Amino acid sequence: MNGPVPHLAAQTIRNAMTIDVEDYFQVSAFASRIARDSWPSRECRVEANVDRILAILADGNAQATFFTLGWIAERYPTLVRRIVAAGHELASHGYGHQRATDQTRAEFMEDIVRSKVILEDIGGQRVLGYRAPSFSIGPVNLWALTSLHDAGYRYSSSIYPIAHDHYGMPDAPRFPFYPHGTDGLLEIPITTVRLFERNLPAGGGGYFRLLPYSLSRMLMRRVNHDDGQPTIFYFHPWELDPGQPRPDGIGLKSRFRHYVNLGRMEDRIRALTRDFAWDRMDRIFLGRP
C-alpha cells in the first residue's frame, strides 16, 4: 500500500462528520433475524431521524457527508434532496446494505454502480465517495478498492484499522492513503488512536455511545493535536432514536451494542459540533470548493 497523504498543520484541521444513512432494521447485526424481503413492510424511521440530524448540523454550523443506501434514496428521494440542499455531500453506502465480503466481484461492481447512478440521478450531484456496509473491505477483498476506482469513485472510507469480531484491518494505515498510487482511489480509514501497541477506536459508532463523552473528546483531540490529522467520525440515524422498534430474537451482545445510550446520543452530537470544526469529506480530502 502506497504513501499516506501529507501531515496537516493542527491549526488548519477540519474534521469529517459522516452519517451512514440506513434504518434500524438494516444493520448487519440483525441480518439473521430480520429478513431482507420484510424491509418494505417495516416501520421506516430514517426520514424523521435524518431531519433531526440536519437540524443539529444546521444549529452547529457543521457540514457533513451522508453515505446513503440506494434502497433508502429510492424510497425517500425528497430526503436526499434535502441533504443536498443543506450543502452536505451525498455519498454511497451501496444499494441494500450487503457486506462487500458477501459479494463476488461482479455482484459488488453491480451494487456500487447501481447505488451511484441512483444517488446522482436523485441528488443532482456527482457521487465521489463510498463506504462499505459494516466496514467490510479488508485483507480478503482489497480488490474492491480497484472496483471502486473503476466505477468512478474518488475515495473510499471502508477500512477500520482495528481488531473487531465483525470487521477490521488492524495492520492498515491509520490515516488516509492511496492503495494503488496517487492516481488511484484514496482510502480514508475511520479514526483510531495508537495506545499500548494497538489501535483503539476513536471515530464514533457504538464506542462513542459507550465511552464517556469526555474520553471520546480527548481521543479525538489527540488525533488533531498530536498526529496533526483530521478525525473521521461516523454515526447512524437510528442512533438518535431510542423509541425505535425492538425486533425479537436479537442476541444479548448485539442488543447491547445497538441500544446502549441511544438517549444520550443527540446531546453528544451537539457537543461535538461545539467542540470541533466539521466539514465534508470531499472538501477535506479532495480539495473541492
Place of cell 492503495: 179
pLDDT tens digit at each of 289 positions of the chain: 555 554 444 446 999 999 999 999 998 888 878 999 999 999 999 999 999 999 999 999 999 999 999 999 999 999 999 999 999 999 999 999 999 999 999 999 999 999 999 999 999 999 999 999 999 999 999 999 999 999 999 999 999 898 766 666 888 999 999 998 777 899 999 999 998 888 988 999 888 999 999 999 999 999 999 999 999 999 999 999 999 998 888 888 888 788 788 999 999 999 999 999 999 999 999 998 7
Whether 210 and 179 have beta carbons less than 8 Å apart is answered as no
Whether 284 and 16 have beta carbons less than 8 Å apart is answered as yes
Residue 168 cell numbers, joined: 477490521
Q: How far is CA 150 from the centre of its chain?
A: 21
Which CATH architecture does the domain made up of 10-286 adopt?
Alpha-Beta Barrel (3.20)
Look at strands 65-68 and 278-279 and give their pairing. Answer: unpaired
Q: What is the pLDDT of residue 22?
A: 97
Count of C-beta atoms within a 10 Å radius of residue 11: 8
110-131 in b/e form (b: 16+ CB < 10 A) is ebbbbbbebbbebbeeebbbbb
Q: What is the pLDDT of residue 195?
A: 86
Residue 208's nearest CA partner among 18, 14, 8, 9 is 18
4: which DSSP letter? B
Paired with 4 in beta bridges are: 177
Whether 98 and 111 have beta carbons less than 8 Å apart is answered as yes
Q: What is the pLDDT of residue 165?
A: 60
Torsion angles phi and psi, residue 234, rounded to 5: -135, 150
CA contacts within 13 A on the Cβ side of 200:
15
Whether 161 and 138 have beta carbons less than 8 Å apart is answered as no
Burial of 86 (0-12, 13-18, 19+ CB in 10 A): middle
199: which DSSP letter? E
Residue 286's nearest CA partner among 218, 211, 187, 196 is 187
CA distance 184 to 209: 35
Look at strands 129-130 and 232-235 and give their pairing. Answer: unpaired
CA distance 220 to 203: 8
Count of C-beta atoms within a 10 Å radius of residue 89: 26
